[in-house]
Amino acid sequence: MKRIFLFLSILLLNHFLFAQYQFESGARQSGMSGSGVVISDIWSSYHNQAGLADLEGFSAGLFYSNMFNMPDLRETSFAVALPADKYGSAGLNYSYSGNPASNFSKFGFAYAKRLGKRITAGIQIDYLRLTQLSYGNSGAAVGEIGFISEPIKNLYIGAHVFNPWRAKLNGTEDYISSVLRVGAGYNFSEKVLVTAETEKDIDKPIVFRAGTEYNMIAGLYLRGGVALNPVKYSFGLGYNYKNITADVAYISHNILGYYFQFGLGYTMVKKKEKTSEDK
């Protein structure tokens, strides 16, 4: 029975993760069905590195997902980023998913900078490593690039490309997917954010996602979203207390069922210097 369970786990892991060599880290974004190409937080390292340019201070995050409630499909991620004023923001991130027999990991170095009053841009270099007990190890270096623009107040437009040069795993003929995401978001008020985006994997049909975030009371956020192709529904909660954020997301897949994701974040916000009016 254990061998059958392990075999099914490996098949699912190959289908849902190795097929695109990407992680969906970020419980905030997942609570909005992954519609996060214009969102700025520590998990921009996984959705659009341009978002790192707007971090207020040193940031760190931990993420955990147990896809379809199968232990062998666990995903864990860690990310840190440090903004340096006019020099931009630099970040590191690491993710792992799988089991000893079949697993996938990703290490990334990101850099983002504000290029003007209304636009930020970011890049990232990743090293992907695939381990399969029967075939050994293989890896590849890929790139990511993205931007976020605010053409008018409260309207955000973003785009992100994963693996623009169509890299493939060394020693194999297995090409890594190139993925383009384009989306927009609008703050209808200080309490309501609505986002929508499309994603095109070069080898797959177009995916559509939409999500919303509502700040119910101070520090407490309610989220929801839907994705098409395949159909997925999501809900999420977030709570911010001083420099700490905690997020949980519930994702329902129309065929394979549901699973949860969890995230913790920390941001070291700089204290504003007192002016003569504050004293």
Specify the pLDDT at position 17: 46
| pLDDT above 90: residue 7 | no
State which amino acid sits at residue 212.
T
The residues that bridge with 90 in the sheet, in sequence order, are 82, 111
Rounded to a whole number, what is the distance in angstroms from the first to the last CA of the chain? Answer: 70
Q: Tell me the pLDDT band of 271, cut-offs 50, 70 and 90.
A: low
User: pTM of this prediction?
Assistant: 0.88
Specify the pLDDT at position 276: 39
128-159 pLDDT tens trace: 998 887 777 889 999 999 999 999 999 999 99
The CATH T-level fold of domain 2-267 is Porin (2.40.160)
Q: Are 75 and 48 in contact (CB under 8 A)?
A: no
What span, in angstroms and rounded, lies between the C-alpha atoms of 218 and 176? Answer: 43
19-36 mean pLDDT: 86
Give burial (CB, 10 Å; 0-12/13-18/19+) of 237.
Answer: middle
Q: Tell me the pLDDT band of 265, cut-offs 50, 70 and 90.
A: very high
Q: In sequence order, what are the residues at sequence separation of 6 or more whose Cβ sits closer than 8 angstroms to the Cβ of residue 188?
A: 154, 194
Longest Cα separation, the chain: 72
| Domain spans in the chain, listed from the N-terminal domain onward | 2-267
71-118 pLDDT tens trace: 777 899 999 999 988 899 999 999 999 887 888 899 999 999 999 999
28-77 pLDDT tens trace: 999 999 999 999 999 999 999 999 999 999 999 999 998 777 777 789 99
Specify the pLDDT at position 90: 98
Tokens of 134: 């029967």
What span, in angstroms and rounded, lies between the C-alpha atoms of 46 and 23? Answer: 7
Q: Are 53 and 45 in contact (CB under 8 A)?
A: no
Q: Tell me the pLDDT band of 125, cut-offs 50, 70 and 90.
A: very high
Specify the pLDDT at position 272: 54
What span, in angstroms and rounded, lies between the C-alpha atoms of 79 and 66? Answer: 18
Tokens of 155: 């309207």
